[in-house]
A and B are shown apart, each in its own frame.
Chain A
Amino acid sequence: MISCKLTVQNTLGIHVRPAGYIVNIASIAKSSVELVYSDQRVNAKSILNLMMLVIEPGSEVEFLINGPDEQKVADELTELFNNKFYEDAS
Chain B
Amino acid sequence: MPLKQETMQRKMFVGKAASPGYAIAKTKLIVRQRFTISQLKIPKENTANQIEFFRRGIWQVKKEISNLRDLTLQMAGKEESKIFDSHLMILQDPSLIDSVISLIRNEQWNAGYAFHLYMQNLIDGFEKKDGIFKDRALDLKDIYNRMLLHLNSGENNFVLQEEIKEGVILTGFSIGPNMLMHFDKEKVLGLAIDSGSTTSHVSILARSMQIPAVMGLGNLSESINAGELLILDGTNGIVIINPDENDISKYKKQIEVFQNQKLELSTMRDLEPITMDGKYIRLNANIERYEEASEITSFGATGVGLYRSEFLYFGRDTLPTRSEQAEAYRNVTHQLEPLPVTIRTLDAGGDKMLSSMNMETESNPFMGWRSIRLCLDRKDIFKEQLKALIEAGDRGNLKIMFPMISSVSEIERAKDIYNDCCTELKAEGFHIPKIELGAMIEIPAAVLIIEEIAKRVDFLSIGTNDLIQFTLAVDRSNGKIAYMYEPHHPAVLRSIKLIVDAAHKEGIPVSVCGEMASDPLSTLLLVGLGVDEFSMVSWCIMECKKIIRSINYDEARAISSEAIKFSDANSINDFLRKKYSQKIKRLGISSFIITQDFSSSDRALIRVDGHIERVGV
Contact = CB atoms under 8 A, between A and B. Distances in A.
Interface in A39-66: 43, 45-49, 51-52, 54
Contact of B86 (A12, A13, A16, A52): A16
B448 interface: no
A47 B129 contact: no
Nearest to A51: B136
A85 B96 CA distance: 24
A23 B133 CA distance: 18
Residue of A13, A16, A23, A52 ringed by the most chain B CB atoms within 10 A = A16
B87 to A, nearest CB: 9
Contact of A43 (B86, B95, B136): B95
Interface in B93-133: 93-96, 122, 125-126, 129, 132-133
A13 B132 contact: yes
Interface in A1-28: 12-13, 15-17, 19-20, 23
B96 A48 contact: yes
Interface of A: 12-13, 15-17, 19-20, 23, 43, 45-49, 51-52, 54
A52 B96 CA distance: 12
Contacts of B122: 48, 52
Contacts of B126: 51-52
B129 A54 contact: yes
**Would you call the interface of chain A mostly helix, strand, loop, or mixed?**
helix
Nearest to B119: A48
Contacts of B4: none
Contacts of A12: 132
Given A49-B95, A52-B125, A17 B133 contact: no
A20 B132 CA distance: 15
B100 to A, nearest CB: 11
Interface residues of B, number: 18
B95 A16 contact: no
A45 B90 CA distance: 11
Contacts of A16: 83, 86, 136, 139
Nearest 8 A-B pairs (CB), nearest first? A46-B95, A16-B86, A47-B89, A20-B86, A48-B93, A54-B133, A46-B93, A15-B132
27 contacts: A12-B132, A13-B133, A15-B133, A16-B86, A16-B136, A17-B82, A17-B86, A19-B86, A20-B85, A20-B86, A23-B89, A45-B94, A46-B93, A46-B94, A46-B96, A47-B90, A47-B93, A48-B90, A48-B93, A48-B95, A49-B95, A51-B126, A52-B122, A52-B125, A52-B126, A54-B129, A54-B133
**Would you call the interface of chain B mostly helix, strand, loop, or mixed?**
helix
A45 B97 CA distance: 13
Given A15-B136, A48-B95, 8 more contacts: A17-B86, A20-B85, A45-B94, A47-B89, A49-B93, A51-B136, A54-B129, A54-B133
Contacts, number: 43
Contacts of B136: 15-16, 51
Interface string B70-96: 000000000000110110011001111
Interface string B129-144: 1001100100100000
Contacts of A46: 93-96
A1 B594 CA distance: 62
Nearest to A48: B93
Contacts of B90: 47-48
Contacts of B95: 43, 46, 48-49
Contacts of A20: 85-86, 89
A71 B385 CA distance: 50
A42 B129 CA distance: 19
Nearest to B118: A48
A12 B139 CA distance: 17
A23 B91 CA distance: 13
Nearest to A13: B132
A48 B133 CA distance: 12
Contacts of A15: 132-133, 136
Nearest to B99: A48
A89 to B, nearest CB: 9
Contacts of B139: 16
Contacts of B86: 16-17, 19-20, 47
A48 B85 CA distance: 14
Nearest to B85: A20
Contacts of A54: 129, 133
Contacts of B125: 52
A46 B86 CA distance: 12
A57 B122 CA distance: 21
A12 B133 CA distance: 9
Nearest to A46: B95
A47 B85 CA distance: 12
Nearest to B133: A54
Nearest to A24: B89
A56 B247 CA distance: 38
B224 to A, nearest CB: 23
